[in-house]
């Protein structure tokens, strides 16, 4: 405070008091911060909203494909045109379905060859043992359990 214009200023302390930091706007005005925050949220939503339907469509298609694979239907194909993680996941689902189909088809072929070989071997042993009749069908003999 200066009392005389020729005098050097003296240091002093100014004290202000307010009942609330927000209500008096003397210390802090929240209006610009709220406005900026809402603007950021709206701009972000406007940028992301066009992408959401495509992402949810791709993810739901992969979910349906996974359910079909779980039921044993390996002939599924998921669109993998996207060049991001969702596209990579679609390609992985397609590779998994193809590999599982190959494994299952190989197992079925093995079991068919093995069962044909077992039937042929059983038939061969039955013929050698004289257990087949003239028509090539197994003979059935009835045994009485010792009681009449």
Query: What is the pLDDT at residue 37?
Result: 96
Query: What is the pLDDT at residue 46?
Result: 95
Query: What is the pLDDT at residue 67?
Result: 94
Distance CA 41, CA 1 (A): 47
| CB half-sphere exposure, 147, CA atoms < 13 A | 1
Each domain of the chain, given as residue ranges in start order, spans 57-128
Among 139, 134, 48, 61, residue whose Cα is nearest residue 97: 61
Q: Residue ranges of the chain with pLDDT lower than 50?
A: 143, 148
**Cα dihedral across residues 69, 74, 76, 77: positive or negative:** positive
Distance CA 30, CA 22 (A): 7
Query: What is the pLDDT at residue 132?
Result: 52
Query: What is the pLDDT at residue 148?
Result: 46
Query: What is the pLDDT at residue 8?
Result: 75
Tell me if residue 44 falls in helix, strand or coil: helix
The alpha-helical segments, DSSP class H, found in the chain are 30-48, 52-70, 85-128
Q: Is 65 exposed, middle or buried (0-12, 13-18, 19+ CB in 10 A)?
A: buried
């Amino acid at each position: 405070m200066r009392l005389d214009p020729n005098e050097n200023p003296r240091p002093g302390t100014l004290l202000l008091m307010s009942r609330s930091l927000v209500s008096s706007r003397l210390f802090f005005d929240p209006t610009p911060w709220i406005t900026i925050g809402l603007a950021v949220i709206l701009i972000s939503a406007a940028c992301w909203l066009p992408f959401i339907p495509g992402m949810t469509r791709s993810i739901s298609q992969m979910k349906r494909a996974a359910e079909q694979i779980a039921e044993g239907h390996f002939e599924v194909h998921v669109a993998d045109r996207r060049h991001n993680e969702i596209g990579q996941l679609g390609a992985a689902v397609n590779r998994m379905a193809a590999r599982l189909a190959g494994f299952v088809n190989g197992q079925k072929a093995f079991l068919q060859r093995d069962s044909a070989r077992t039937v042929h071997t059983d038939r061969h042993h039955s013929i050698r043992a004289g257990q087949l009749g003239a028509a090539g069908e197994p003979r059935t003999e009835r045994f009485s359990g010792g009681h009449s």
